[in-house]
Chains A and B, each alone.
Chain A
């Protein structure tokens, strides 16, 4: 768990971060989202003291980060950045081994850990461990960058647009892999992004920032359906209903029990409302079965159920609360 308490950062007269308080729970992936210059990267970099706050407190698991030396602190926190910053003179394996080596882990253990991480990133160890960064594609380099951040198995990860420098197709793929990995590892992650679909896809919660302040914090559907300010509403653009369909999971709806007769089609409760809608429209039945992913049926929904959920969610038609 990491907590920012009234954290400020000013450069001369310029305010970069204006008294931000934010708490990211253990195992949660929180995306700092916002236009460039909103202070999201500065906020992230204060967590491992690459930037020292002008005032305020940052606590990791209840301990003030100012109590550890910057070097000690950084070795305990994973760090991945957009331009990846792999060391060009070191092999993939040596890059991944950076933090474990600094911490004095035994060579045999490091080698095993490196291979484990490469496999985890869908990079075959035998093929990749001895390559140099110049021999990797953009997507492969980003995967190695994430592996390097995870190497010392830190409970907390700081990621500054780690998938920002690759083409859209590979980005979608690496994003899905990363989300699957995070569901398994349950790290506490602060993830900086300026990409709305990426934030909506990955975030447990989004902290939307503007000019040094957090405008709103909440789960993606919450920000879309009930924006706290005009800025939040405008930020997600015109088609917020569509975004809501894409970010809300069927499991979040009230699912009525299945009626008599089995529905012909069924999807998992983990699916989004958009997927449910498509399934309803392409199927010939009026009902769509919902299963829990392990063969158990949870109930069934109709087009009307989705409409009712959307109406409730967008109840105030997205008028800002303040």
Chain B
């Protein structure tokens, strides 16, 4: 059986798995961004907070995903969600925190202090400074962090198949269990392709969010 034959025979279940994978990663990323960007902005404003927050995010990063799933089983079992979608989403959110928080902080701190001083001196409120000056200038850097988080999450979501969260990881898990290489390869290739597509799509978003003034150099002189 060739890979193409396999894809043909399993196209329905592959599509369902792809849908599950996207749903898992998409929901986790939305929540991770909603939590991580404000946290990054918060530690960018107060440098004394950066140490503890980044340390915590780093520690989470060092926990192997399979161990994190294992740790969550007894805790979430208390609400009857020891395995499945919920622990998977929580793990992905936690892993995404480091790239999102770190990149948000770096992007905001890279804005020249004189630019912010001028904004304040010209009479902008703190809110206007953030929305009209800081955020547009930091947007490309923040999206770069989301890109890293997205590609990483797609990979971690594959492992989540072990705790019944579904997704393309199912093919890898079953392929290993049944020593059917074709199934493992199909799952792995699917995940690789998905990563590539998301990476390219977010690259386009990053470029679109880069203000024109930061892209042009010395033209028209």
Contacts and interface: CB of A to CB of B under 8 A. Distances in A.
Contacts of B13: none
Given A102-B128, A135-B216, A85 B117 contact: yes
B122 A88 contact: no
Nearest to A88: B213
Contacts of A137: 221
Given A83-B112, A83-B114, A131-B220, A89 B137 contact: yes
A91 B213 contact: yes
Given A134-B217, A134-B218, A135-B218, A85 B115 contact: yes
B84 interface: no
Of the four ranges (under 10, 10 to 19, 20 to 34, 35 or more), the interface on chain B belongs to: 20 to 34
Given A50-B117, A83-B112, A134-B216, A88 B137 contact: yes
B120 interface: yes
Interface string A243-285: 0000000000000000000000000000000000000000000
A79 B214 CA distance: 24
B133 A87 contact: yes
Contact of B122 (A74, A83, A91, A133): A74
Contacts of A84: 114, 118
Contact of A85 (B114, B214, B216, B220): B114
B219 interface: yes
Chain B, interface SS category: helix
Interface in B160-192: none
Given A89-B136, A135-B219, A81 B213 contact: no
User: Most B CB atoms within 10 A — which of A50, A71, A99?
Assistant: A71
A123 B13 CA distance: 65
Contacts of B51: none
Closest 5 CB pairs of A and B: A85-B118, A89-B211, A75-B123, A79-B121, A83-B114
B213 A132 contact: yes
Contacts of A74: 120-123
A48 interface: yes
Given A87-B115, A88-B137, A99 B217 contact: no
A75 B217 CA distance: 31
Interface of A: 48, 50, 71-75, 79, 81-91, 98-99, 102-103, 131-135, 137, 145, 148, 158
Contacts of B133: 87, 89
**Which of B118, B119, B133, B216 gathers the greatest number of chain A CB atoms within 10 Å?**
B118
B8 interface: no
B115 A88 contact: yes
Given A74-B120, A85-B117, A148-B122, 5 more contacts: A79-B122, A88-B211, A88-B213, A102-B124, A135-B217
Contacts of B219: 135
Given A75-B122, A99-B122, A85 B213 contact: no
Contacts of B212: 89, 132
A137 B219 CA distance: 11
B189 to A, nearest CB: 40
Contacts of A79: 118, 121-122
A261 to B, nearest CB: 55
Contacts of A91: 213
A85 B120 CA distance: 11
A163 to B, nearest CB: 15
Contacts of A134: 213-214, 216-218
A102 B216 contact: no
B122 A102 contact: yes
Nearest to A165: B114
Interface in B77-127: 112, 114-125
28 contacts: A50-B120, A71-B125, A79-B121, A79-B122, A81-B117, A81-B118, A83-B114, A84-B118, A85-B112, A85-B114, A85-B119, A86-B118, A87-B118, A88-B214, A89-B133, A89-B213, A91-B213, A98-B124, A99-B123, A102-B123, A132-B213, A134-B213, A134-B218, A135-B217, A135-B219, A135-B220, A135-B221, A158-B121
Contacts of B121: 48, 50, 74, 79, 81, 158
